[in-house]
Chains A and B, each alone.
Chain A
Amino acid sequence: MSFKTTLFGASAMALVMTGAAFAENLVIATVNNGDMIRMQGLTDDFTEKTGHTVEWVTLEENVLRQRVTTDIAAKGGSFDIMTIGMYETPIWGANGWLVPLDDLSEEYDVADILPAMANGLSHEGTLYAAPFYGESSMVMYRTDLMEKAGMEMPEAPTWQFIREAAAAMDDPENDINGICLRGKAGWGEGGAFITVTGNSFGARWFDEEWNAQFDQPEWKEALEFYVGLMNDYGPEGYATNGFNENLSLFQQGKCGMWIDATVAASFVTNTNDSTVADSVGFALAPNSEGVDKKSNWLWAWALAVPAGTQKEAAAKQFIEWATSKDYIELVASKEGWANVPPGARTSLYENPEYQAVPFAKMTLDSINAADPTNPTVKPVPYVGIQFAAIPEFAGIATEVSQEFSAVYAGQQSIDEALEKAQALTNDAMEAAGYR
């Protein structure tokens, strides 16, 4: 232990020397999102500082999940560091599959991690993964179109207002949809969106006894609202639109509003890729009138070390590097402040240079407005906002969201979908031994 402390407490210069003596080659599994690709490009900085080299296994999100889950459950040891999310971390941490990150160095400043993120990445108070970037969700809207419609977006709109605004901005002749939302099947795609929408209508996945709640009126109301809104003012084929599809629609100026991950803000305001970069405004994710829960989620992509790795010390060094304040500075110096990984550290939001970034404040407000331990109006036995942090959830929610997507595509009615969702959820929970 003392060895480790010395190692981590050492200055950068000492790190170079120690690192060179124990040069390791780290295998890191990560997702092919923009921020991670950028990190890949900056790996040399880490190697320079520590002497450790890094090999990347970059995979598309679905493949990555399947790959790292198999490996950790079978104790394969293929990776020294895994990129996982807020869903996996507490479950794996509870299983003892991850190395606790309770001995990070002083200068790393664990206390600086946004409390919402630290909570979501901990199990019983122990941090198991360090957030690389974090996000909530919020409304992104076209200020020019709002102005043209003669409306003004409040800071915290209701769904009812969103519908009015969508109606006002919808302009099929000019190829502008009033609103773009996720409808794609998959628990992390449309499943996440409809779950938070449900939350904001007072719905919940399970009651305190783990009974599925899709037979309750709140779910029906939420789905009816969503389907009505999208059929009237959404794009064609929204049943297959996920984050990516909507991003590209919004960047091409084809959406009046888009409610999605806060990280999208840096993409839609980036003048290189976005045709509407100069006219994007932000607001908190909506709630239904009279319901005290907003439809914003909370998510982090985080780095974790699987238990049993031989390279624990080097792996922790990498995590300290990649999620440090210095890394943020490094990205800022190369790519500008708007492109730094957001949503992980308090100090970032106290930095005046970052405060000048147009979406900084709304991102922080959205993250702070999310409470994973208390996600719904009625009490629930689970932790998590757009998911329930139990191992069975991903499978169940993917199937449920497939039933919902079939509704969006006009292949079945809302009632049919809810009935199937109720049955399959209860069945799976029974198979897992909850009921």
Chain B
Amino acid sequence: MATQHSRSAARLMMAPAVILLLGWMLVPLIMTLTFSFKKYLPLRGGDLGWVGFENYTRFVTSSAFWPSVVATLAIVGGVLVITIGFGILLAILLNQPMWGQGIVRILVIAPFFVMPTVSALVWKNMFMDPTNGLLSHLWRFFGAEPVSWLSEASMTSIVMIVSWQWLPFATLILLTAIQSLDSEQLEAAEMDGAPTFKRFLYITLPHLSRAITIVLLIQTIFLLAIFAEIFVTTGGAFGTRTLTYLIFQRVLEAQNVGLGSAGGVYAIILANIVAIFLMRIVGKNLDA
């Protein structure tokens, strides 16, 4: 039905967003690319000339590189599994009849509103501190040796903190999806004597697949870039140095912008690999 006229109008309307995003992507991208081929040391006078692929080789051959890729994937993967797993359970629970549903929902979504910096500070100091943290009080109360969360269980702790922040998001989207589930279908299945688990597996879960895809995609985008949670808690120690954090260390702590920029290019590549991978497995759910 769309006429030639509305087509060109459409292009015109799309233009601002596309041009802006193009600029937003291209300007820094071109700058990052340029710096990545340079020896750029702000504390030694800035731009010290072209060095070819030196920064690229140096970045990947550093002993920190592969562990950082693994750490990144582990955090993203861990948080996705936890938030989607618990998110589904919570969504189903919240969809049941109960008293004070509105209030419970408020309680559950609250962590999403908390700044990452604040939540990391609160968890690190008031919960995970091995001496004064609430968890160590709890452990001692039960006669156990308190855990030094951020060193002995560093990865688990960070996944826990980040999951706490993102669980509300997953739950909300999944809950909306569940609410749209045709209850007649479920009731019919119940009449037929289908056990709860089967009803979940064959009716609820397929219905949620689209919502799960969305959660997967959006959270991955945000999780690949998490920074504050690591900066505040471990500072990248104890195997929690993600690729983003490694780049931060190169650019700001070591003040080697060239090397960090090369790392930035690798991060974009990694992000795109993850994105393509995601599209492959979930793309058909996303008929965008």
Known: A237-B151, A405-B238, A423-B63. A69 touches B252 (CB 8 A): yes
Tell me which residues across on chain B come within 8 A of A240, comparing CB atoms. Answer: 130, 148, 150-151, 234
- Give which listed residue, A236, A398, A410, contacts B146 with CB less than 8 A: A236
Check B253 against A395 for contact (C-beta < 8 Å): yes
Tell me which residues across on chain B come within 8 A of A394, comparing CB atoms. Answer: 253-255
Check A73 against B42 for contact (C-beta < 8 Å): yes
Q: Name which of B42, B58, B241, B254 has the most chain A CB atoms within 10 A of its CB.
A: B254
CA distance A239 to B238 in the complex (A): 10
Q: Does A316 contact B (CB under 8 A)?
A: no
CA distance A296 to B150 in the complex (A): 28
Tell me which residues across on chain B come within 8 A of A398, comparing CB atoms. Answer: 235, 249, 253
Check B42 against A74 for contact (C-beta < 8 Å): yes
Check A424 against B235 for contact (C-beta < 8 Å): no
Write the B63-74 contact mask toward A (1 if CB under 8 angstroms, else 0): 110000000000
- Give which listed residue, A73, A239, A245, A428, contacts B254 with CB less than 8 A: A428
Tell me which residues across on chain B come within 8 A of A7, comparing CB atoms. Answer: none
Tell me which residues across on chain B come within 8 A of A95, comparing CB atoms. Answer: 43, 45
Check B239 against A406 for contact (C-beta < 8 Å): yes
Tell me which residues across on chain A come within 8 A of B150, comparing CB atoms. Answer: 240
Q: Does A396 contact B (CB under 8 A)?
A: yes
The distance from the CB of A280 to the nearest CB of chain B, in whole angstroms, is: 19
| Residue in A closest to B254 when the chains form the complex, CB atoms | A395
Tell me which residues across on chain A come within 8 A of B235, comparing CB atoms. Answer: 62, 185-186, 398, 402
Q: Does B184 contact A (CB under 8 A)?
A: no
Check B237 against A405 for contact (C-beta < 8 Å): yes
Known: A391-B41, A399-B64, A432-B44. A237 touches B259 (CB 8 A): no
Check A73 against B43 for contact (C-beta < 8 Å): yes
- Give which listed residue, B145, B237, B252, B259, contacts A185 with CB less than 8 A: B237
Check B41 against A432 for contact (C-beta < 8 Å): yes
- Give which listed residue, B42, B43, B130, contacts A237 with CB less than 8 A: B130
Check B237 against A402 for contact (C-beta < 8 Å): yes
The distance from the CB of B283 to the nearest CB of chain A, in whole angstroms, is: 39
Q: Does B250 contact A (CB under 8 A)?
A: yes
Check A236 against B148 for contact (C-beta < 8 Å): yes
Check A248 against B131 for contact (C-beta < 8 Å): yes
**Chain A residues touching B, majority SS:** helix
Q: Does A427 contact B (CB under 8 A)?
A: yes
Check B62 against A427 for contact (C-beta < 8 Å): yes
Known: A248-B131, A411-B239, A427-B58. A66 touches B252 (CB 8 A): yes
CA distance A201 to B5 in the complex (A): 81
How many of chain B's residues have a CB under 8 angstroms from any CB in A? Answer: 37
The distance from the CB of B53 to the nearest CB of chain A, in whole angstroms, is: 13
The distance from the CB of B70 to the nearest CB of chain A, in whole angstroms, is: 15
Write the A42-66 contact mask toward B (1 if CB under 8 angstroms, else 0): 0000000000000000000010001
Q: Does B34 contact A (CB under 8 A)?
A: no
Tell me which residues across on chain B come within 8 A of A134, comparing CB atoms. Answer: none
CA distance A325 to B39 in the complex (A): 46
| Residue in B closest to A427 when the chains form the complex, CB atoms | B62
Q: Does B101 contact A (CB under 8 A)?
A: no
| Residue in A closest to B249 when the chains form the complex, CB atoms | A395
| Residue in A closest to B154 when the chains form the complex, CB atoms | A409
| Residue in A closest to B128 when the chains form the complex, CB atoms | A240
Tell me which residues across on chain A come within 8 A of B63, comparing CB atoms. Answer: 420, 423-424
Tell me which residues across on chain A come within 8 A of B192, comparing CB atoms. Answer: none
Tell me which residues across on chain B come within 8 A of A254, comparing CB atoms. Answer: 131
Known: A239-B148, A240-B150, A432-B256. A406 touches B44 (CB 8 A): no
The distance from the CB of B135 to the nearest CB of chain A, in whole angstroms, is: 12
Write the A155-198 contact mask toward B (1 if CB under 8 angstroms, else 0): 00000000000000000000000000000011000000000000
Check A409 against B148 for contact (C-beta < 8 Å): yes
Q: Name which of B64, B146, B237 has the most chain A CB atoms within 10 A of its CB.
A: B237
- Give which listed residue, B145, B234, B255, contacts A391 with CB less than 8 A: B255
Q: Name which of B39, B46, B151, B152 has the most chain A CB atoms within 10 A of its CB.
A: B151
Q: Does A14 contact B (CB under 8 A)?
A: no
| Residue in A closest to B48 when the chains form the complex, CB atoms | A433
Q: Does A431 contact B (CB under 8 A)?
A: yes
CA distance A282 to B57 in the complex (A): 51
Tell me which residues across on chain A come within 8 A of B239, comparing CB atoms. Answer: 406, 411
Q: Does B132 contact A (CB under 8 A)?
A: yes
Q: Does A392 contact B (CB under 8 A)?
A: yes
CA distance A172 to B131 in the complex (A): 14
Tell me which residues across on chain A come within 8 A of B78, comparing CB atoms. Answer: none
Tell me which residues across on chain A come within 8 A of B231, comparing CB atoms. Answer: 62
Known: A406-B237, A411-B238, A411-B239. A395 touches B250 (CB 8 A): yes
A54-108, CB < 8 A from B: 62, 66, 69-70, 73-74, 91, 95
Q: Name which of B45, B129, B235, B239 has the most chain A CB atoms within 10 A of its CB.
A: B235
| Residue in A closest to B250 when the chains form the complex, CB atoms | A395
Q: Does A331 contact B (CB under 8 A)?
A: no
Q: Does B236 contact A (CB under 8 A)?
A: yes
Tell me which residues across on chain B come within 8 A of A286, comparing CB atoms. Answer: none
Tell me which residues across on chain B come within 8 A of A401, comparing CB atoms. Answer: 237
Given contacts A185-B235, A411-B239, 4 further A-B contacts (CB under 8 A): A95-B45, A240-B150, A402-B241, A406-B237
Q: List 24 A-B contacts (CB under 8 A).
A: A62-B231, A69-B42, A69-B43, A70-B42, A73-B46, A185-B237, A236-B130, A236-B146, A237-B131, A239-B151, A252-B131, A392-B254, A392-B255, A394-B254, A394-B255, A395-B250, A398-B253, A399-B249, A402-B235, A402-B241, A410-B152, A432-B44, A432-B256, A433-B39
Binding site for B on A (CB under 8 A): 62, 66, 69-70, 73-74, 91, 95, 185-186, 235-237, 239-240, 245, 248-249, 252, 254, 391-392, 394-396, 398-399, 401-402, 405-406, 408-411, 420, 423-424, 427-428, 431-433
CB-CB nearest 9 A-B residue pairs = A395-B254, A237-B148, A391-B43, A73-B42, A237-B130, A185-B237, A409-B151, A402-B237, A395-B253
